[in-house]
Amino acid sequence: MIRKRPNVSANRLQRGGFTLLEIVIALGLMGMLVGMIFRVAQSSMKLSQAVVETQNETMEQNSFFNLLKNHFEQIPGNAVMRLESYEARNRTLFTLTFQNVPMSFNWGDVPMTAEAVQLATVEQRDGFVDIVLRFYDVEILEDSDSTGDADAEPVAEITLVENMWMCDCEVVDGRTMEPTTVWDNNGQLPLQVKFYCRFSSTADIVQQTFWVVPKQNPEVIMRQIIQQNPGGPQAQPGAGQGGGIDIPGGVQIPGGNGGGGGGGGRGQGGQGGRGNGGDGGRGGPPGG
């Protein structure tokens, strides 16, 4: 009876390979690993982008508030400010106008000077609010010097902040210490100006209070000076008209040209000195 010997080499080759199931499982694990790496990288990129956007928004907000702070600190005493509030579709908007506040800027490489500046909120179609800064080359408010042109168009307009959820403004009257959303007192500035800003629907309301530093009105100071001296500075009697000046000792300097009087004094002094010196020398006793 003939028996076949088993093929040992074939059995070894079959045992050293991978089955189809093992290959499929390995490919699945590799795909899961690659997907996890991709998700981690994508999450890191989104996180970094969110951090950058948050920093940009914070810098924009701080720049806006710093601009307002510097503006209110530099308001002169004769500035005119007016606050108007009105109802829009879904919110309350305001316009804050300043006049007699010197401000120069370049618009299109052209130097310009603004006679009036207006800070206003504008509602967009999507319901968000933009804060714009408008420049006028003419006076638009009525004050003691001009009637103002209320229909004037701004020569330049800059958007400071975009897509805000809300922004309200109110002022505090220094006489009554009561807040109000309307200010039209051309002869006086408010004590404080408050802004209530909400930059997104999920953010908290940020309140910023700016003090308006009281300063003297230069026009009032000039009126007081004119009232105290209605005729201007008075000239002293004899000043600049040739009045003589008496000097003790009997010498009088004549008036008129100051240089001429000085020359005459030197001439008399020189003659007197020489004459007296000669007489003293001749009349003295001879030397022993």
Task: Walk along the chain (288 residues) and give the pLDDT tens digit of each residue.
Answer: 555 555 555 555 555 677 888 889 999 999 999 999 999 999 999 999 999 998 998 999 999 999 999 889 888 888 889 999 998 887 889 999 998 887 766 666 777 778 899 999 999 988 899 999 999 988 888 766 666 777 788 988 999 999 999 999 999 998 899 999 999 887 789 999 999 999 988 889 999 999 998 877 766 677 667 777 766 555 445 444 444 544 444 545 454 444 444 444 444 444 444 444 444 444 444 443
Q: Which helix (H) or strand (E) holds 173?
A: none
Spell out the domain ranges in the chain: 61-221
Place of tokens 């309307």: 182
The two structure tokens encoding residue 263: 């020359």
Token pair for residue 69? 């702070």
Tokens for 10, please give them: 């074939």
Report residue 138 as tokens: 């003419």
Contact (CB, 8 A) for 115 and 101: no
pTM of the model as a whole: 0.62
> Would you list the DSSP string of 272-288?
HHHHHHHHHHHHSPPP-
Task: For residue range 113-154, list pLDDT tens digits in order.
Answer: 788 999 999 999 888 999 999 999 888 887 666 667 777 889
